[in-house]
Structure 1
Amino acid sequence: MTTTFFTNARLIDPVALTDQMGGLVVTDGIITRVFEWNATPPADAQVIDCAGHCLAPGIIDIGVKVSEPGERHKESFRSAGRAAAAGGVTTIVTRPDTTPAIDTPETLEFVERRAQLDAPVHVLPMAALTKGRDGREMTEIGFLQDAGAVAFTDCDRVVTNTKVYSRALTYARSLDALVIGHIQEPVLSEGAAVTSGKFASLRGLPGVSPMAERMGLDRDISLLEMTGARYHVDQITTARALPALERAKRNGLRITAGVGVHHLTLNELDVADYRTFFKLKPPLRSEEDRVAVVQAVAEGLIDIICSMHTPQDEESKRLPYEEAASGAVGLETLLPAALRLYHAQMIDLPRLIRAMTLNPARLLGLTAGRLLPDAPADLILFDPDAPFLLDRSTLLSKSKNTPFDGARLQGKVLGTWVDGARVWEA
């Protein structure tokens, strides 16, 4: 039996939404006691003095792309796992948009084996909703679920055939399987590089209206009313989509929503003179949209904050803006970027941590994401005020395509524990 005693910690509790001094006792990878202020450590316990820094549940990041199989040069389970540990992410939920797509039990089992061998953090794989992510024929959802898939998604490929989509949602409902959707109307969005408006016109870039997101959400909500499926929106990034989400929740539909940290902390003007590290999918929005989405997170309308970690190599990004690949890495910058909202007094720290820990745990039916007895000791220790200048060359991800290169950030991860074992020390 191994016991670890965390003392002198600022406990950030996402369940009670409290921020107070205290500590934890961890025995054999499980939290066995939570106490306030000081306590006497058990005999033979390893004592960790947190020095007044924040101790919180480990981050659960939904929508991480690990480029195995097919593009291991962009990101492997080893590099993604190390980056996650350094960023305080103790569970990564991986996307199926690999080469080939994760659409069979055999491919899923390969991913699970590689993750178990190489990653120091928990890895939970998602599987494709349709074969090849082509939107024509649904995958064997039941077999994939039995093989370990925690959710089903075609990622940024929208299923345009509503009959196929409705059948997949109906089948998923019968198995209580979670479906994750990307709510962009595909025809309007095709070829778009930025959000339409004055900035797009001045830069001469093809844009897409924010209404494309609202239209995609309205369609999916209609299908949810018809099928009763359990559904999560990967990202809501515009103010126009929020009233539809609020009505769907009020009407009792089983719907939750997330947002990527880049859309919470950046806006369309950050693209500036065609900076391709800021090219994302969906594109960055107006400042008004950003503020509205941050408010939705603070109020609990948007449930989850994620990194939408999407590694791209230099050759994919060093192109004219319109031709460059979309996406940014985010495992190591998720926490310090999200803390921008805390430092700007737009959201308090317990609610911010709840959106990255407790809420994704609840969505996936995990016991993690809590500072409670009998919960797994997946923990992060961080200093929310420590300033640093981000140098992308120091990132542990294989790809370095971060929009925060050279940015001044606050918030350093000092330690990460998975099942009570330390996997990262600053």
Structure 2
Amino acid sequence: MPADPQQLLRELFATAIDAAHPQHVLEAHLPSDRSGRVIVIGAGKAAAAMAQVVERSWQGEVRGLVVTRYGHGAPCHKIEVVEAAHPVPDAAGLDVARRVLEMVSDLTEQDRVIFLLSGGGSALLALPAAGVTLADKQALNKALLKSGATIGEMNCVRKHLSAIKGGRLAKACWPATVHTYAISDVPGDLATVIASGPTVADPSTSAQALAILQRYAIEVPPAVRAWLQSPESETVKPGDPCLARSHFQLIARPQQSLEAAAVKARQAGFSPLILGDLEGESREVAKVHAGIARQVALHGHPLAAPCVILSGGETTVTVRGNGRGGRNAEFLLSLTDSLKGHPGIYALAGDTDGIDGSEDNAGAIMTPDSFARATALGLNASDELDNNNGYGYFAALDSLIVTEPTRTNVNDFRAILILETTQHDA
């Protein structure tokens, strides 16, 4: 039994992050022939750290340009690193996307391109399609983020409003050879969804993108509607010849991080239960986790304590209130409200990129006394949940986790420690 359950939770989180860090996972996947000239481009929260690995291990001439979120940069000597806004794109992201397209616009069959891709790339590499303005994309991004739409739905819309996503970047690189190395931050690890798939075929359609906007009652500007109704808005489809020299390699995924955390938990004497990548409303996903945790604590099913329940994925938050907090804080607040201080249960929820939503924390920790301590401070968990104020709730308890940007991203990580089973079924 750990002397400090909170410390074990932090160690599990750190282990999950390390298992997906570019410094540990990228080099082995790079081409065996690392001589000659290569153009390196990239987008995502891990882009700068990935660029460092390429610079360090490539033996030939290297030049390039990558874009990452503000604060997620890292020093490179040959590859330019630009920072831009996430999750709502800004002019910096638009400018770098234009420059990336220019950099790959006149390549030949002898050229090689390495594309470094990670979560966040959709917003960071933002180049609106013809007739669509940056303001249009910003407004639609904000509306989608508040709507409760899944990451797959959001990226379907983003792809069809982009001049660079949905396989269009690979098309721009043709006939050069393109090697895409990706860190997955999406449930299912679909190449078409990770950062909206700039170098892979996209089977979704413009009609589906329009239907998603209608499903969530999002106002569609006339220029956007006209574009989505035009055949030109279609993305690059499977079988397109321009993808023949484009190769995609997944180098890290959420499951690897969950498995690494499971090994760490076993070493500490806890049986792990991996639930996998999950989607859905954060507060509802938390209620399911609470039910499983109670079943373990009271009845020793589906496994006996001491144990840890692990899950990842990307939940959503339908914003109703005016509070502060990302989806991990929302999950943990709902878990706290559901468990109401059940003895012997501790939990952590955090984003592996180090930023929960748009706040300065990666996530937070819940302890068995969190509910009672918050109540003593006049904080009602249910009311705070109604106001989407997970950040404020855990800040008042001094229970936020602040890691600074980690420069990787396999999305959410959740761990629930159950120290003992208090009663077994007869």
What's the TM-score, normalizing by structure 1? 0.28
Flag the structure with larger Rg: 2
What's the TM-score, normalizing by structure 2? 0.28
Decide which structure has greater strand share.
1
Decide which structure has greater helix share.
2
